[in-house]
Amino acid sequence: MKFFDRVLNPREIRRRLGMNQEQFWTQIGVTQSGGSRYESGREMPRPVKELLRLVHVEQIDLSQVKRIDFEIISYLKDAHPELYRNLRRAARARAGGHDVGNFADLALPADSEDLAPATGSPPIPAADARHE
């Protein structure tokens, strides 16, 4: 089973965040009525699933992520894989060992490193994409 074939439960994620449908869905560019349909069982397109994961599960502020961040991550993985692994471990330890906050039980694995975003960009290691 592919990663995106796993069931995301957007209604449960939204409720755990304490948001109404309009607040939740507009953050990822979906209308409230479209989000309501997804919450009622309509199939979400892959880009919507990925945006939901990044914004609401991984809690990544996409306005802070730049192309250079992807380039640095890719460079570290290729040229210095051990350094990349050590930095990733250190970031996870600093975050308490969790990449997905309180949502691990909803749908997504804690380590989504094998998953590239729908844009074809390198995968975003959650701890590495956050800015302080």
Least confident residue range of 8-17, 23-32, 101-110, 112-121 = 112-121
Q: In sequence order, what DSSP letters do the residues of the chain get, joined into one string? A: --GGGSPP-HHHHHHHHT--HHHHHHTTT--HHHHHHHHTTPPPPHHHHHHHIIIIIS---GGG--HHHHHHHHHHHHH-HHHHHHHHHHHHHHTTS-SSGGGTTTT--S--TTPPPTTSPPP--HHHH---
pLDDT tens by residue, 43-55? 999 999 999 999 9
Q: From CA 89, how far away is CA 3, in angstroms rounded? A: 23
Do residues 3 and 111 touch, judged by C-beta distance below 8 A?
A: no
**pLDDT at 95 > cutoff 90:** no
- Taking residues 36-47, report their average pLDDT: 94
- Taking residues 10-37, report their average pLDDT: 96
Q: From CA 49, how far away is CA 112, in angstroms rounded? A: 13
Q: Which contacts of 109-118 are long-range, i.e. CB under 8 A and separated by 24 or more positions?
A: 109/3, 112/3, 112/53, 114/3, 115/3, 117/50, 117/54, 118/46, 118/47, 118/50
Percentage of the residues of the chain whose pLDDT score is greater than 90 = 60
pTM for this model (two decimals): 0.61
- Taking residues 20-40, report their average pLDDT: 96
pLDDT tens by residue, 56-73? 999 999 889 999 999 999
Domain 1-58+100-120 class in CATH: mainly alpha
Give the domain ranges of the chain: 1-58+100-120, 65-98
pLDDT score, position 96: 79
pLDDT score, position 97: 63
Within 10 angstroms of residue 55's Cβ, the number of other Cβ atoms is 16
